[in-house]
Every structure is written in structure tokens, then in C-alpha cells.
Structure 1
Amino acid sequence: MSKYSAPAQELLEHIGGKENVATVTHCVTRMRFVLKDPKLANIENIENIDLVKGTFTQAGQFQVIIGNEVSSFYNDFVKIANIETASKDEAKVAAKQNMNWLQRMIAHLADIFTPIIPALVVGGLILGFRNVIGDIKLLEDGTKTIVDVSQFWAGVHAFLWLIGEAVFHFLPVGITWAIARKMGTSEILGIVLGITLVSPQLLNAYGVAGADSIPVWDFGFMQIEMIGYQAQVIPAILAGFLLTYLERKLRDITPNSISMIVVPFFALIPTVLIAHTVLGPIGWSIGSVISDVVYTSLSSAFGWLFAAIFGFAYAPLVITGLHHMTNAIDLQLMSEIGGTNLWPMIALSNIAQGSAVLAMIYINRKNEAEKQVSVPAAISCYLGVTEPAMFGINLKYGFPFLAAMIGSMMAAVISVSSNVMANSIGVGGLPGILSIQPQHMVMFALAMIVAIVVPFMLTIVFAKTNMGKISFKRK
């Protein structure tokens, strides 16, 4: 009998039995359930199971934190429950039955941006490195850059732009591909659509403002401006969803014998036409308004207040899943102003959560069982993965989560008040400084120190107060 059999049996009982489980899967640290009736789950009893580190509900899934043992635990659980295993995609589909319209919209955004985040992180690191060697005058008494005095580094600087341009200027290709992938339509058509938005024959989006004239496609009775949408997010999203809508509708009404010819032709051509005449201009305008509002808010006299609110509230947003919306805003800011002053606050919030866990490691330094959970959680949090820290430790006790929110708020105010800008989305923890524009690295480093020290000290203080004593009564 496996050591996981007893806790697996307990979990099955307290989750509402086999009959209450629509699907179950797991990730790196968590069991992810889609329950037919979430109210049947006895959360208090579940959290009292020895192996369980905590629970939470997100994106329509009831998630039980197990830790690094989750894979073995999951295998025993599905055997005891006699439940068929499900893929993560199947679990997401099933989870939508427990979502309202807003949660579904957020889930759609997450599914679009999650596959392209690795490229964005790499691109941000590359831009940061290029700025260090090409823009900062470090040599010869501060008069020359590394690129100025070294042909090798000049070559590296030029070569790396090949990747940076591919990631950011051709971002619409990744977005339209991700939408086609998510909606189960032809991914190659999504790629082709994205290319039509950034084709070299179009006037580059960055050159529109300074262009003497804009080339057009002249159809005699009408003209269409040949404007590209390099780095634009919303035009690509609108075009991508139109393509998938048309393709799916055409599949439903087209005989299989001619589907291969008719569907791609009548889905792609109208979408490209509408993208360049209607959706592109509308999406560009919407994106400009969003970026202007966010940037103006952060750079105004009351920017510190916006930063304080965002820094304090970002971690709770992660719990709800609403934080996925910030990806689109960050990318829009990057295309409009050449960087983002929103993302640095996100990185600081992650660091603050990790620092609160670090304090809990110190507080529970004699508790070996607790350290098995908290040490890996702190490490992953400092590297940008916050869920084990937030749900396994900070929310479990309560006061470390509050301490991290306060530290994040203070660090965010420093970041915004100093006009710190990131090149792009990056690694959302300590390595995040590599994505910060070089001229702002010192101030961001100061904000990082605050995000480390304040949550650590506040967590220890809270632990010695009535707040800590009440929280420690919980498992």
C-alpha cells in the first residue's frame, strides 16, 4: 500500500466523492479539479490532510496544493477514485462550466499570451543586454560604449537585433498563431494572417508618424493604406478572432469534398481585407488610448498613488486570474513608448511574496516539515513563479501575504516615482533587473531591496503580534 493511499482516500471523500469530479489533472505542485458542485468540497477537512499545503479556486478549477510529490500522489488518487486521467486542455474546457463571462474572457487572454511569454522574456533580456553594451558609456572616462571600442561586441549588438526584431516587431504573428491554436483552427492560416499584418511591403508602424506619404493599394473605386501593425497587440487579437470565427462557420456549412479549398480561401482573404480596413485602425486607436491612460496615470503627479494601489493589489489579482490582462497592456506600452513602466511593479510584487516566505523560513527554522514546502517555494518565487509561495505559505498564514502586499506597494511607489522602465516583460523575480532599461537599473535595484527587506521585517513583526498568533492556529 502506497504512502499516498490514505491521504488520497481522504481527499476523495472530502472533495465530494468520485461522482463530484468532472475532471482532474495536475501541474508541478497542484492537483487541479473541475468539480460538478464546488460547494460539496469540504475545504477545512481537505486542508487538514497531512500532505495538503493549501487550496484555492482559480479559472473554474479547485486546486489542491500538494508540492513536489504531486505526480505520485495524483497517480494513486486516480487509481483509488477509478477516474480516467485528463489533459490540461480537457480540464480547461471542463472548467469553463464554472466560469462567468469575465472569467472566461480572462481565461481566453491567458491562453493567448501564455504560449508566447517565453519568446517575450528572451526578447526582453536581449534588448536589455543590447542597451548595456550599446547605449551606456562605460569606457574611456564615460565617453564611449563597449560597442564603440570593440568590433566583436558591435557584431554581437547587430546580430542580437535579429532576434529582438523577430520577437517584438513580428509579435502579431505569434498572437494570431496562438489564437488559431487556442480555437482549434488552422494554425498555418493564423501565421499567414500575422505575416500580412507585418509584411515588409507595408509602411512600418514606427514610421507612420514621420512619413511624407503613405502608400496605398489602389482599386480604382477605393484605396487602402498600406500600413503595418508591427508590435501591435489589439489589431492582431481582433484579426485573429475574426479568422477563427469565419473558418469555423465555413467548416460547418461547406461540404467535406471542397472544404480544403473553400474554407481557407474564404476565411483568409476577407479577414486580411477587413483587418487592414476596419479592425487594424480600430485596434490601433483602442491600444493607443489604453497605453496613453496607463502611461499618463503612472507619469502624472498622482502616479505614486496609482503605483501604490497597483503594487498593493497585484497579488490579490493573481488569485482571481485578472493579472493576465496586464500582459496585453505591457505589450501595448512597449509598442507605443518603447518600454513598460507597469511590468517592473509586477516583478517587485513577486519578489515581495518570496521575501515573506523567506521570513517564514526563518520563523519556522526548526520545523523540518515546514521547510520542505517553504524553501522550494521561496526559490521559485524569486525566479518568478509565485503560486507555491502565495498559496502554499503566504495565504495559508495570512499575515505574510499582507506583509508582502505592503512591501510591494512601497517598492512600486519607488519604481514609478523614479520613472523606471523595462524593455519588455521579463523574468518576474530577482532576474527581472536584466529586463530593466540600463539607465533605470540603480533605482530598480533600490526598489528590489525594499521589496526584500520590508516584507521580511513585517512578517517577523506580524508573527509576534496577535495577528501572527491567530494565524498560527491554522495548519
Structure 2
Amino acid sequence: MGKFEKEARDLLSAIGGKENVSAVTHCATRMRFVLNDESKADVQAIEAIPAVKGTFTNAGQFQVIIGNDVPIFYNDFSAVSGIEGVSKEAAKSAAAGKQNPVQRAVAMLAEIFTPIIPAIIVGGLILGFRNILEGVAWSALDGKSIVEVSQFWSGVNSFLWLPGEAIFHYLPVGITWSVSRKMGTSQILGIVLGICLISPNQLLNAYNVASTPAAEIAKDWVWDFGFFTVNKIGYQAQVIPALLAGLSLAYLERFWRKVIPEVVSMIFVPFLSLLPALILAHTVLGPVGWVIGQWISTIVLAGLTGSFKWLFGAIFGTLYAPLVITGLHHMTNAIDTQLIADSGGTVLWPMIALSNIAQGSAVLAYYWMNRHDEREAQIALPASISAYLGVTEPALFGVNLKYVYPFIAGMIGSGIAGLLSTTFNVTANAIGVGGLPGILSIQARYMGIFALLMLVAIVVPFALTLFFRKAGFFTKTEDQTVKAPQAEALAQAAEAESPKGTLITIQSPLAGQAKVLAEATDPVFAQGVMGQGVVIEPSEGELIAPVDGEISVLFPTKHAVGLVTAQGLELLIHIGMDTVNLEGQGFTAHVKQGDSVQAGDRLISFDIKQLKEAGYVVETPVIVTNQNDFQADAALDLPQTVKRGDDLLTATKI
């Protein structure tokens, strides 16, 4: 029996059965389902499953949080359901069909900006440090800045502008690259297009446009084609122009790939994609995008700095955590970046950091109330630390949303902090680490105020969480009687284990060519997601038991079988890739689930010729799925030809 077989069966039933699953995959911590009818998913029953830490719906996917054991859970779910998983991209594609245009646009923005956020965070920290060096007049230095009194720090300040300029001035290159990456087109063309938007030698720097007279631009900064001219304007740090230009390049390349013959596509597709996109960028998309970007930043900035900025801050601060749940918070990345380009900083991002701190403080209060319960403490304390460092998912889905009252307390504290943040015009240099370290990205003159606001975001939610719990406000009935499902999982008694160091020899279940697992065609197996082992290219269609044990699962399609030994070793043998689609054709099972077998017993016969003629790869992974308990090592040098019964792997109890 697989480690999570019972929980997997319960989950399959609770999500509406196999017929309700359109696609399933998993990431590092959660199962991701695309359901035909989400209303059939019984959320309460799902969250009562011990292995489940929470659920939420985002970007058209119903996501079930499992934790670090998700690869093992995924394997057991596939076994009991007979549903083959798909790649993350395939799941996203299936989910996209269930999204409205706004959801698809937000999902696209998220996937475009996520890869470049680390660079923006680094840039924000650099600018914050440079502000301290050159922008603060220290009383201890007779009212001078650090760079004015120290040649060393002056040199450091000058050197740090190298990466700072690269990150912000050259941001369009990152955006056009990321667009190409997201759209599956040539990334190098995206990079070239981005460079053509910010060329420092041929274009007037965007930061200098406002201070350059129109007459000078018309004379010195144009391409003159005789009967018309095009301005040589750069788009340093501009978001919308780069986004529009990157999308035009991607859609042009997709179009030309379809209509140009493959034999000449290498020549004509790049040329006919890049050149028109570049022309569009400097004649239409760039100027229009510049105006749109300025409109957006002007409107948002007006709300953040106008007469009712306190109200804007209170509303945004209160609602940011719910935005995270819906995924709409990704839109703020583009707005923040545009604000930084147009006004030299963002008033929006400090409130995001404060919201993360507030939700972390609510979890910390929950931890404090349950600190003597070791199982609850194991959940709440790491979640609060994670939120304080800018990652709120464990806090939101592990505790706050589950019990409601910490979530409400966090929202109220965040709203108060947001109101005060906009009242005092607290401004960040750039997007930073969205928690306590976020103070390093705040402009120097606002650091003191932001420190006080962090204190508000810590104290208010903490106190309100304690008050709500004691008064019974916003508390769910389940909180009175039921511990969090993940706490119940921690409470489960451990199954009988073999002594550390126990060695199990796994024989080859097939005759053929054995190779290292990394050479498997399917990346899910090749990357070790399902576990560790080897892959065999079979020369004969007879599969035997590689160990003494019990058939823990036999897929209805007979293309895969799982075994568990008396020592607790769990094996999965998967005949071919995507052969589940054959629905059992070409396979004959000689055992059934629950049978006890000896090493060498026949398990499955399969027709290699029939599988290949149907277009399927027949290579077969032999996987140790409970890799947290057993270390799998090849018992022979690979690649190598093996016979059935040869020693193939050794599994050592960790």
C-alpha cells in the first residue's frame, strides 16, 4: 500500500471522481487540478484529509496543498485513479480554457514578470543602499553624506550604479526576453528587440526626453526618410512599450512559422518577425505604450498622493491579501515598475510589504495561542517566518484562511498600516523583499516612518487575532473542535520501519538496455520527480517481479504496477510513455492488486511491436517512489544490457 493511497482515494472521491478531472499535474508543494465542474469538489471533505494542508482556486486550477511529499502523493493519486498527469504547461493550457479574458491577461502578466522580479528586487536593494550613502545628511558627519567624507564609500556608490543601471535602464530587454520565453518563441530575438529599444549610442535616453527641447529632438534625434521622420527615442525603464513590442514580435514569429516552409524558415522567420516588430515599436507601439504607461502611473499616483490618499491606502492595504488569493496581485508588478520609471519610486509597494507582515503577525498570534501544542506549533511558526520574509502562501492557506479570524485580523492591520503609509507618502525605490527585509528598499528619508508602520503591522494583527479568538468573533465552528488537517497528519502514528541501513537488492524486471534515469524521454521521470531508479529499453515483453512483496496497485490499463516490500520499500514500474492512452490494449496482467509475489514471478506481458506501431516509446522506468526513506543506487555500470533477474538496483534504508 502506498504511503498516501487512502488519502489519494479520499481526494479522488472528494473532487468529484475521475470523470470530473480534465487534467492534473503538480508543482513543488501542491496538486494542480483542472476540473470539469468545480462545484463538485467538496472543499470541506478535501481539507479534512490528513495529508492536505489547504485548497484554493487560481488561474483556472483547483490547487490542493500537500507539502514536500507532493511527488509521493501525486504518484499514489495517479495509481489509485488511473489518471496520467500532464506537464505544467499542458495543465495551464487546459486551465486557460476555463478562464475569462481578464484572468488570462493577469495570468500572462504574472508569467511575464515573475522571471524578472529577482533582478528588480536586487536593483531595489542597491538603490536603497546608494540612497543611504549619498542621499542622507548625517549629523555625526557635520550634515554631510557618507560619500562626501569617504572616498572608499564614494567608490562603492559609483560601482553599484553599474548593476543598478543595468537592471532599471535596461529593463525592456528583460521584458521582451520574458515575453518571448512565455510565448515559446525565439528568446534571442526578444533580447535583440529589447536592446533596440534602449540603445545608448543611437537613441535619446528616455530620462532625458523631458529636458530636451522639441526643436533639438527634431533636428538631432530622428531617422530622416526624406518625406517623413521617426523619432530616435529610447524606452529605458518603460514597461508598456516593451510589453507591446515583445508581444508583437512573438505573434509575428508564430504567424510566420505557420506559413513559411520549414526548409527556409531559419532564414525568413527571424527576419520577417524582428524587422516589422522593430518598426512597429518605434512608430506606433512605443509612443502609444509610453502614453498609456504615463496615464496609468498618473492615475495611480493621483490616488496614492491626492486628497483621499488615506482612503486609497486603507482600501488597498485591506484588500491586498484577498488579491493574492485570486492571483490579481500580479498586476501590481507592472504598475510598480511603471511608477518607478515615471516618478522615481513607488508608493504602492510599501503597502504590499506591510500586508505580508500583517498576515505573518496574525499567524504568529495563532502560534502563540497554540505554542504548547507541538503539532500546531510546527505548522504556524514556519508559516509566520515565511510571511515575514515575503512568502505568505503558507500563512494564508495553512492557517489564516482556514480559521478566518486571523485572516480578518491581518486585513484590518494591513488596512491601518496602508492608510498611514499613504498619509506619510512612504516611497520605495523599487520592488523589494515583501516582508521585514523590505525596509532596505524604502527611500532613506522614509525608513524611520516605515519602521514604525512595520510595528503597526505587527502589533495590531497580533492583538486582534488574540481578541477575536477569545471573543469568538469570525471563528469557524471547526476551530473549536478540529485541529488543522496538517496537524492531524503530523499526529498520525508512523508505520513500522526497517532499521537504518537495511539493504534491499532490486532485480531487473525486464530484459533490455538499462540506462540512467536522467535519459528517460518523459521529463517527469528524468528529473526524478516520481523518485529515483533506472530506465530500461526492453527487448522482450515480459515483466517480472523485481522483489518479494505485495502488488500495492495495478493500473486498470495494466501499463504500470506498484509493489511494496515487507521492509517498506515502494516501487513503481511504468511500461512505456503515455501508454495509458491505449486503455489496456497490448497488455496482459498475470496478477491483481493485493497479490503477494516472489522475485521472478510474472506480472505483465506486453506487445512491444504493437506499442511501437501505435507510436509509443516503450522505455520503462523502474522507480523507488519513497525516496525520502530509501536511497536508490544502480547495482551496475550504466548503460548496460541486462537480463530478467539480474541485479539492477540497491535500496538502502535512510
TM-score by length of 1: 0.97
* 1:240 corresponds to which of 246, 249, 268: 246
* 1:408 corresponds to which of 398, 411, 414: 414
Alignment of 1:69-468 (within 5 A): 69-138=69-138, 140-200=140-200, 201-212=202-213, 213-214=216-217, 215-467=221-473
Richer in helix (by share): 1
Does the 8 Å contact 2:3/2:72 carry over to 1? no
Q: Deviations over 1:250-269 (max 9, x none)?
A: 11111112111111111111
Does the 8 Å contact 2:3/2:76 carry over to 1? no
Amino acid across the alignment from 1:426? G
User: Whole-Å Cα distance in 1 between the matches of residues 33 and 383 of structure 2?
Assistant: 22
User: Whole-Å Cα distance in 1 between the matches of residues 360 and 316 of structure 2?
Assistant: 18
Query: Which range moved further: 49-58 or 33-42?
Result: 33-42
Amino acid across the alignment from 1:255? P
User: Whole-Å Cα distance in 2 between the matches of residues 78 and 119 of structure 1?
Assistant: 38
Q: Deviations over 1:402-442 (max 9, x none)?
A: 10000000111111111110000011111111100111000
Query: Which range moved further: 109-118 or 155-164?
Result: 155-164
Q: Which residue of 2 aligns with 1:33?
A: 33
Q: Identify unmatched segments of 5+ residues in structure 1.
A: none
Compute the displacement of 1:116 (Å). 0.5
Does the 8 Å contact 2:8/2:77 carry over to 1? yes
Does the 8 Å contact 2:405/2:475 carry over to 1? no
Amino acid across the alignment from 1:189? L
User: Whole-Å Cα distance in 2 between the matches of residues 8 and 142 of structure 1?
Assistant: 68
Q: Deviations over 1:269-312 (max 9, x none)?
A: 11111111111111111111111111111111210011011111
Query: Which range moved further: 41-50 or 335-344?
Result: 41-50
Does the 8 Å contact 1:176/1:239 carry over to 2? yes
Change (3 A) 1:70 1:138: farther
User: Whole-Å Cα distance in 2 between the matches of residues 335 and 453 of structure 1?
Assistant: 34
Name which one, 1 or 2, has greater alpha-carbon Rg: 2
User: Whole-Å Cα distance in 2 between the matches of residues 2 and 343 of structure 1?
Assistant: 45
SS at match of 2:84: coil
Compute the displacement of 1:141 (Å). 3.7
User: Whole-Å Cα distance in 2 between the matches of residues 65 and 370 of structure 1?
Assistant: 17
SS at match of 2:162: helix
Amino acid across the alignment from 1:34? V
User: Whole-Å Cα distance in 2 between the matches of residues 207 and 469 of structure 1?
Assistant: 56
Q: Deviations over 1:23-48 (max 9, x none)?
A: 32333432221223322222121111
Percent of matched pairs sharing the same residue: 62
Change (3 A) 1:299 1:206: same
Amino acid across the alignment from 1:21? V
User: Whole-Å Cα distance in 2 between the matches of residues 139 and 188 of structure 1?
Assistant: 50
Amino acid across the alignment from 2:233? I
Compute the displacement of 1:81 (Å). 2.9
Amino acid across the alignment from 2:244? L
Amino acid across the alignment from 2:212? A
Does the 8 Å contact 1:59/1:95 carry over to 2? yes
Verify: 1:49 aligned to 2:55, yes or no: no
SS at match of 1:464: helix
User: Whole-Å Cα distance in 2 between the matches of residues 140 and 382 of structure 1?
Assistant: 32
Compute the displacement of 1:470 (Å). 3.6
Does the 8 Å contact 1:67/1:373 carry over to 2? no
SS at match of 1:34: strand
User: Whole-Å Cα distance in 2 between the matches of residues 152 and 86 of structure 1?
Assistant: 55
User: Whole-Å Cα distance in 2 between the matches of residues 366 and 30 of structure 1?
Assistant: 29
Q: Identify unmatched segments of 5+ residues in structure 2.
A: 485-654
Query: Which range moved further: 375-384 or 454-463?
Result: 375-384
Change (3 A) 1:424 1:282: same
Does the 8 Å contact 2:403/2:475 carry over to 1? no
Richer in strand (by share): 2
Query: Which range moved further: 140-149 or 57-66?
Result: 140-149
Q: Deviations over 1:108-139 (max 9, x none)?
A: 11011011111111111111111111221236
SS at match of 1:197: helix
Amino acid across the alignment from 2:206? A
User: Whole-Å Cα distance in 2 between the matches of residues 159 and 430 of structure 1?
Assistant: 27
Does the 8 Å contact 1:139/1:146 carry over to 2? no
User: Whole-Å Cα distance in 1 between the matches of residues 50 and 311 of structure 2?
Assistant: 43
Compute the displacement of 1:207 (Å). 0.2
Change (3 A) 1:324 1:196: same
Does the 8 Å contact 1:29/1:388 carry over to 2? no
Compute the displacement of 1:469 (Å). 4.9
Does the 8 Å contact 1:139/1:145 carry over to 2? no
Amino acid across the alignment from 1:395? L
User: Whole-Å Cα distance in 1 between the matches of residues 262 and 70 of structure 2?
Assistant: 44
SS at match of 2:64: strand
Change (3 A) 1:23 1:226: same
Compute the displacement of 1:380 (Å). 1.0
User: Whole-Å Cα distance in 1 between the matches of residues 373 and 12 of structure 2?
Assistant: 28
SS at match of 1:31: strand
User: Whole-Å Cα distance in 2 between the matches of residues 266 and 66 of structure 1?
Assistant: 47
SS at match of 1:55: strand
Does the 8 Å contact 2:241/2:288 carry over to 1? yes
Amino acid across the alignment from 2:423? S
Query: Which range moved further: 149-158 or 275-284?
Result: 149-158
Does the 8 Å contact 2:23/2:85 carry over to 1? yes
Query: Which range moved further: 260-269 or 443-452?
Result: 260-269
Aligned residue-pair number: 475
Change (3 A) 1:75 1:155: farther
Change (3 A) 1:389 1:469: closer
User: Whole-Å Cα distance in 1 between the matches of residues 379 and 76 of structure 2?
Assistant: 21
